[in-house]
């Protein structure tokens, strides 16, 4: 799929005159494949980690450090999310670790905070949201995922329906065109 994504980008910008941005969930294997494909094709890509995935990790840390459902957790998450958006992901990672240490968290109670700190520290190069936002790049896939859910689940997940690849592709293509999206099913 990564190679197919690069094929599509190359078809749309064969001279590499545009800025290539890849929005990802941050899985290391996915990042490795993207970087390898970009190097193989000698193209510069800007990788941005989906903010929604980053927020999931920040919330995991919040539940390690705060009572579940407590209002303090919401304020804590908002402050860390704004700091990450401002380009301070390394600082947030260090703060989360320091707070977990100060609270004496260990074992499963520390798991969420530890996962958040490791996630942020390992992906600082993909968390430059200030640059992304200033450049008009996307920082979250919510709209895309919502469109996919609508186009796929709502259109194809009908009780009793049996779809083959050709029929499903035709329905999705029509739905995309009606919604103003471009879709090529192979």
State pLDDT tens for residues 94-132: 999 999 999 999 999 999 999 999 999 999 999 999 899
Find out whether 155 and 172 touch, Cβ atoms under 8 Å. yes
- Which pLDDT belongs to residue 25? 84
At residue 185 the predicted structure's pLDDT band, cuts being 50, 70 and 90, is very low
- Which pLDDT belongs to residue 28? 87
Instruction: Name which of 23-37, 61-75, 91-105, 133-147 the model is least confident about.
Output: 133-147
- Which pLDDT belongs to residue 186? 41
pLDDT digits (tens, 9 = 90+) for 38-96: 999 999 999 999 998 999 999 999 999 998 777 899 999 999 999 999 989 999 999 99
Question: What is the distance, to the nearest Å, from the Cα of residue 80 to the centroid of all Cα atoms in its chain?
Answer: 17
CA-nearest of 70, 53, 65, 54 to 98 is 65
Q: Quick one: DSSP state of residue 153? A: I
**pTM for this predicted structure:** 0.74
Annotated domain spans of the chain: 2-49, 51-126, 142-179
Radius of gyration of the chain, Cα coordinates, nearest whole angstrom:
20
CA distances from 89 to 6, 30, 75, 110, 130 (A): 28, 20, 17, 19, 11
């Amino acid at each position: 799929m990564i190679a197919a994504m690069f094929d599509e980008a190359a078809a749309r910008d064969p001279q590499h005159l545009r800025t290539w941005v890849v929005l990802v969930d941050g899985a290391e294997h996915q990042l490795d494949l993207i970087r390898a494909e970009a190097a193989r094709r000698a193209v510069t890509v800007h990788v941005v980690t989906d903010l929604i995935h980053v927020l999931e990790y920040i919330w995991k840390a919040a539940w390690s450090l705060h009572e579940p459902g407590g209002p303090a957790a919401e304020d804590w998450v908002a402050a860390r999310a704004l700091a990450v958006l401002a380009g301070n992901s390394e600082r947030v990672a260090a703060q989360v670790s320091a707070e977990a240490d100060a609270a004496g968290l260990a074992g499963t109670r520390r798991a969420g905070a530890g996962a958040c700190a490791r996630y942020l520290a390992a992906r600082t190069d993909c968390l430059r949201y200030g640059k992304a936002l200033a450049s008009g790049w996307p920082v979250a896939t919510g709209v895309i995922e919502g469109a996919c859910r609508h186009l796929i689940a709502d259109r194809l997940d009908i009780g009793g329906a049996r779809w083959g690849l050709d029929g499903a592709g035709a329905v999705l293509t029509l739905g995309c065109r009606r919604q103003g999206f471009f879709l090529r099913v192979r």
